[in-house]
Amino acid sequence: MNESPRLAVCDIDGTLVDSKKRISPLNRKAIKAFQDGGGAFTLATGRIEKSALPYCRELNIQVPLILYNGARIVHPLSGEVLMEKHLHEEDITRALLLRKTYPLDYILYSEGEAYVFDRSSFIREFEKGDGYECSILRDTGELTRKKITKILMIGDNSCFDAFRRDFRSDRKRGAALVQSESNYLEILPEGVNKGTALEELEKILGFNRKNVICFGDNHNDIEMIRRAGIGVAMKNAGDEVKAAADLIAPDHNHDGHFYNTRTRRFAI
């Protein structure tokens, strides 16, 4: 590829930040050099606004973000929601029924807020990592008054395959299920992923996919990596993610990036 990318889209956890949730000085320098050279840098994450915005301020991000693993695109400065999708009532009902069968902690997202039924040790660990506290749902009746963007379930991943089978239960269509961390299983609106959101973001910003480079490390990044003109998987990514990528970057604890701050071009 002769033309250097004009838009860089980066996952947060396991990609942009290290295991302590910090952006390295070298990566901050590389991102600033890319921006100073006229490039647009943004994030594509499963996180919600309040969890992603601190990184936006740290990196001076001024272009729309892909949030909720692709269910929402939001401008970090104005807060304007440029695109959003919601789960169908049938998918929410089925997920709540399966809550009785599987020992998973649920987090339900609606209008920029996260809701839980109780604050388990898994939930407390999640809150610490994402930097905010979830609100407690007193009863499922509260959900009838909310539009649900996605549902995140946390727990033992040995039951994820069985959950997927029971959730789909012979339906040919319905919500998407994606594993975003080793112990995270997410239910997203039908047809939603980071790749479809990237396509929408390209339209919003007026970029061609050939001008886009994307970085990721987990299953929820695969569609985005495949769509980009250049897809980059981190060294800490799984084999399926690496197979979808054009390049493999150093792992997230070792300044994984491909941007040369001297030449202000990606090393491709």
Q: Is residue 168 part of a domain?
A: yes
Q: Are residues 71 and 197 in the same domain?
A: yes
Q: Is residue 1 part of a domain?
A: no
Q: Are residues 111 and 61 in the same domain?
A: no
Provide the number of structural domains found in the chain.
2
The overall average pLDDT reported for the chain is 92
CB 83 within 8 A of CB 218: no
CB 193 within 8 A of CB 223: yes
Average pLDDT over residues 121-147: 89
Share of the chain above pLDDT 70, in %: 94
- CATH number of the domain that residue 96 is part of: 3.30.1240.10
Question: What's the pTM value of the predicted model, to 2 decimals?
Answer: 0.92
Q: Note down the domain range covering 132.
A: 89-188
Handedness of CA 94, 96, 100, 104 (dihedral sign): positive
Q: d(Cα 224, Cα 70) in Å, to the nearest integer?
A: 10
Task: With a cut of 90, say whether residue 260 has pLDDT above it.
Answer: no
- Write out pLDDT tens, residues 43-74: 999 999 999 999 999 999 999 999 999 999 99
Task: With a cut of 60, say whether residue 162 has pLDDT above it.
Answer: yes
**Boundary-marking domain end, from 188, 217, 234:** 188
| Per-residue confidence band for 257, with pLDDT thresholds at 50, 70 and 90 | low
Q: Which residues pair with 229 in a beta bridge?
A: none
Q: Is residue 12 part of a domain?
A: yes
Q: Is residue 2 part of a domain?
A: no
Task: With a cut of 60, say whether residue 1 has pLDDT above it.
Answer: no
Q: Pairing mode, if any, of strands 72-74 and 81-84?
A: antiparallel
- CATH number of the domain that residue 197 is part of: 3.40.50.1000
| Per-residue confidence band for 140, with pLDDT thresholds at 50, 70 and 90 | confident
For residue 53, the SS3 value is helix
For residue 236, the SS3 value is coil
pLDDT at 4: 75
Map tokens 């919500």 to a residue.
175
Helices 25-36 & 49-59 angle (0-180, nearest 10): 70
Q: d(Cα 23, Cα 21) in Å, to the nearest integer?
A: 7
Q: Are residues 121 and 50 in the same domain?
A: no
